[in-house]
Structure 1
Amino acid sequence: MQHELIDVLIVEDENELAQLHAELISKHPRLRLVGIASSLADAQVQLERKQPQLMLLDNYLPDGKGITLISNPMLTRANCSVIFITAASDMDTCSQAIRNGAFDYILKPVSWKRLSQSLERFVQFAEQQRVWKIVDQQNVDSLYQLQAKNYRQDNGSKGIEENTLARVQTLFNEKAAHCFTVDEVVSETGLSKTTTRRYLEHCVEAGFLTVEMLYGKIGHPRRMYKRSAA
């Protein structure tokens, strides 16, 4: 049986991060990217025009805060759920997002695995809502458990090829004190940017690398990768 695709809108003004999110969405057979908005105003236009079922929403945008969009009646009318992805670690912002029904709240720097798991849980959540027209208590409990599920601990090694991983790890072992950008790793290894991102995030999840954030203006951190201390 063919399932309907879930339309996803990315609201993120940091281009590198938006592309990382877009790549995750493109890899999921049930998700379809319908747009990337880099401002609050653009997000509102695309929300109305494209009617996505899910929005990955940043908080710090050039023309305002994404949290204001969560409480906007437009979001309710569009029947759109939100995964809130932000550097905002204050409890007021977190509480406001939860009160307004955010499906998930993910702090930057974003973990590739953490976001992947959140997207997978949303797909399951949407599918169960579609199938269960009438619910009993067990169904309701299952839906709530999906929204607050404990995250699986796995090695995150799916799609990771040993020789390519060794090439990335060798670079960081040889220059253990250096903080690399994605572009620098691309230049040093000759890998594509997409492949490089995937292997860097795998190394972070495995504890081989750490991520440091280089902050320019608010909301525009750059991810810097460094060899973890032995």
Structure 2
Amino acid sequence: MNNTTTFDVVIVEDEPHLASLHRDFIEQNFHLHVVGIAATLEQAYALIRLHQPRLILLDNYLPDGQGVDLIDDPLLKTFDCSVIFITAASDMRTCSHAMRSGAFDYIIKPVSFHRLQASLERFMQMVQTLRNVKVVDQSSLDRLFNLPASEAPPTPSTKGIESNTLERVQRVFTANPDTSWSVEQVVEEVGISKTTGRRYLEYCVEIGFIGVEMLYGNIGHPRRLYRKVSDD
């Protein structure tokens, strides 16, 4: 595949910070361009009609409906588009519905960026195969459709991770192992920007140093909190 080829992506996610993390991650690591972020189904339909993206990252729980309703819509059958569900919906009924409706992959929140990277790599491999291969044999088909998404890189990517800053972030949790921290609290404690803080926190989640807790209140979106993983 020509390295200059870039594919359009629409992200459908009502948590702005998570949508921003996904956008930054895929644009930094793949030949993918996020043409729009939708926080509702209505916004998603408008972006999809306008851009006809090659890939949609789709949450299920949205303010005005569910993502599975979108994947069933005939609109997505009018052009070449794949869907990766990234959602907290972990019930088998929703997962089965999504896969039967043609979802390329299904990732359960909180997102492991190893897992997302593996899914996107598999998507790019599929696109390359569809573009370049005219006749396939069985082994090619097996690689195209059955490559396990769990085949993630053995170690997390350290791109953009600096050891001194990482140590300062980790020290916050080591000194307070029983405390759950928001990204705002961590960046204030360490003295870094929110964008940088999110990158380091997600890296720490990837390597298993901290875990993610979702705090659901009565008003607004759930908060993403981080807590030191027990050494036991």
- How would you bin the TM-score normalised by the shorter chain? over 0.9
Q: Cα distance, 1:142 vs. partner?
A: 1.5
Which amino acid counterpart does residue 136 of structure 2 have in structure 1?
A: V
The residue that corresponds to 1:198 in the other structure is: 199
Tell me the secondary structure at the aligned position of residue 216 of structure 1: coil
Contiguous gaps of at least 5 residues in structure 2: none
* RMSD (Å), alpha carbons: 1.8
Q: How far apart are the structure 2 equivalents of 1:2 and 1:119? A: 16
Which amino acid counterpart does residue 64 of structure 2 have in structure 1?
A: D
Q: How far apart are the structure 2 equivalents of 1:218 and 1:109? A: 20
The residue that corresponds to 1:156 in the other structure is: 156
Identity %: 53
Measured against aligned partners, the alpha-carbon deviations of 1:3-44 in whole angstroms (never above 9, x if no partner) come to 411110000111111111111122024111110011101111
| Residue 118 (structure 1) aligned with residue 83 (structure 2) | no
Which amino acid counterpart does residue 152 of structure 2 have in structure 1?
A: R
Tell me the secondary structure at the aligned position of residue 48 of structure 1: helix
Aligned ranges 1:8-47 → 2 under 5 Å: 8-47=9-48
Q: How far apart are the structure 1 equivalents of 2:6 and 2:99? A: 26
Q: How far apart are the structure 2 equivalents of 1:14 and 1:152? A: 25
Aligned ranges 1:1-230 → 2 under 5 Å: 1-146=2-147, 148-152=148-152, 154-159=154-159, 160-216=161-217, 220-230=221-231
Q: How far apart are the structure 1 equivalents of 2:119 and 2:154? A: 15
Q: How far apart are the structure 1 equivalents of 2:7 and 2:192? A: 31
Q: How far apart are the structure 2 equivalents of 1:157 and 1:122? A: 19
| TM-score normalised to structure 2 length | 0.92
Deviates more, 1:62-71 or 1:203-212: 203-212
Q: How far apart are the structure 2 equivalents of 1:131 and 1:173? A: 50
Asked if the contact 2:6–2:33 (Cα under 8 Å) also holds between the matched residues in 1, the reply is yes
Q: How far apart are the structure 2 equivalents of 1:219 and 1:140? A: 45
Which amino acid counterpart does residue 66 of structure 1 have in structure 2?
A: G
Q: How far apart are the structure 2 equivalents of 1:134 and 1:8? A: 28
Measured against aligned partners, the alpha-carbon deviations of 1:181-206 in whole angstroms (never above 9, x if no partner) come to 11111111122222212211221222
- Change beyond 3 A, Cα 1:140–1:200: same
- Change beyond 3 A, Cα 1:157–1:41: closer
Deviates more, 1:90-99 or 1:184-193: 184-193
Contiguous gaps of at least 5 residues in structure 1: none
Asked if the contact 1:60–1:219 (Cα under 8 Å) also holds between the matched residues in 2, the reply is no
Tell me the secondary structure at the aligned position of residue 211 of structure 1: strand
Deviates more, 1:172-181 or 1:209-218: 209-218
- Change beyond 3 A, Cα 1:64–1:51: same
Q: How far apart are the structure 2 equivalents of 1:44 and 1:188? A: 40
Asked if the contact 2:213–2:226 (Cα under 8 Å) also holds between the matched residues in 1, the reply is yes
Q: How far apart are the structure 1 equivalents of 2:29 and 2:219? A: 31
Deviates more, 1:131-140 or 1:27-36: 131-140
Tell me the secondary structure at the aligned position of residue 181 of structure 2: coil
